[in-house]
Amino acid sequence: MLDVRHSGCNKTVLTPENAMSLLVAQQIHHSYGGTQALCDVSLEIEPGEWHALCGENGAGKSTLIKIISGVEPPDQGNVTLEGNPLPMGRVHAVEEAGVVAVHQEPVVFPHLNAIDNVFVGREPGRLGGLWLDRDSMAHGARQVIHQLGEDLPLEQPVGELSLAQRQMVSIARALLNDCRILILDEPTASLSARETQSLFRAIKQLQARGVGILYVSHRLEEIFQMADRVTVLRDGRMVGTHSIASIQRSDLIQMMVGRPLDASSAARPLPREEQAPTLLEVQGLSRAGVFDHIDFTIQSGEILGLSGLVGAGRTEIARAIFGLDSMDTGSITLDGQPMPEGFQIHDAMDRGMALVPEDRQRQGLILPESVEDNLTLPSLKAFSKLLGLDRDSRGKAARRLIQRMGIKTAKPSSSAQSLSGGNQQKIVLGKWVYRQPRLFLLDEPTRGVDVGAKEEVHRMIRTLARSGSAILLISSDMPEILQLSDRILVLCQGRIRGEVTGSQATAEQLLEWALPPERPDAA
Q: Which chain residues interact with other proteins by CB under 8 A? A: 33, 70-71, 90-92, 94-95, 101, 103, 105-112, 116, 119-121, 123, 125, 129-132, 134, 142, 145-146, 151-155, 173, 288, 324, 326, 328, 344-346, 348-349, 355, 357, 362-369, 373, 376-378, 380-381, 383-384, 387-389, 391, 431
Q: At 268, which amino acid appears?
A: R
Count of CB atoms situated within 10 Å of the CB of 426: 29
- Give the shortest CB-70-to-other proteins separation in angstroms: 7
d(CA 173, CA 107): 9
Q: Which is nearer to other proteins, 178 or 274 (CB)?
A: 178
Count of CB atoms situated within 10 Å of the CB of 349: 18
Q: Which is nearer to other proteins, 163 or 367 (CB)?
A: 367
CB half-sphere exposure, 433, CA atoms < 13 A: 24
d(CA 395, CA 383): 10
d(CA 343, CA 321): 10
Contact 328, 365 (CB under 8 A): no
- DSSP labels, 166-190: HHHHHHHHHHHS--SEEEEESTTTT
State the sign of the Cα–Cα–Cα–Cα dihedral 333, 338, 340, 346.
negative
Q: At 123, which amino acid appears?
A: E
- Give the shortest CB-158-to-other proteins separation in angstroms: 9
Helix (H, G, I), strand (E, B) or coil at 227: coil
Question: 172: burial class by Cβ within 10 Å (0-12, 13-18, 19+)?
Answer: buried
Q: Which is nearer to other proteins, 19 or 377 (CB)?
A: 377
CB half-sphere exposure, 344, CA atoms < 13 A: 1
Q: Which is nearer to other proteins, 37 or 152 (CB)?
A: 152
d(CA 190, CA 165): 9
Helix (H, G, I), strand (E, B) or coil at 101: strand
Q: Which is nearer to other proteins, 122 or 268 (CB)?
A: 122
Q: Which is nearer to other proteins, 5 or 139 (CB)?
A: 139
d(CA 81, CA 87): 10
Identify which of 232, 302, 312 has the alpha carbon closest to the alpha carbon of residue 492: 312
Element counts in the chain: helices (H) and strands (E): 17, 24
- DSSP labels, 272-295: P-S-PPEEEEEEEEEETTTEEEEE
Rg over alpha carbons for the chain, rounded to the nearest Å, is 24
How far are the Cα atoms of 63, 197, 413 from residue 430, in angstroms, in the given order? 28, 35, 16
Q: Which is nearer to other proteins, 134 or 201 (CB)?
A: 134
First vs last C-alpha separation in the chain = 53
- Give the shortest CB-15-to-other proteins separation in angstroms: 33
d(CA 376, CA 365): 11
Q: At 188, which amino acid appears?
A: T
- Residue 503 makes CB contacts below 8 A (sequence gap 6+) with 268, 269, 270, 271
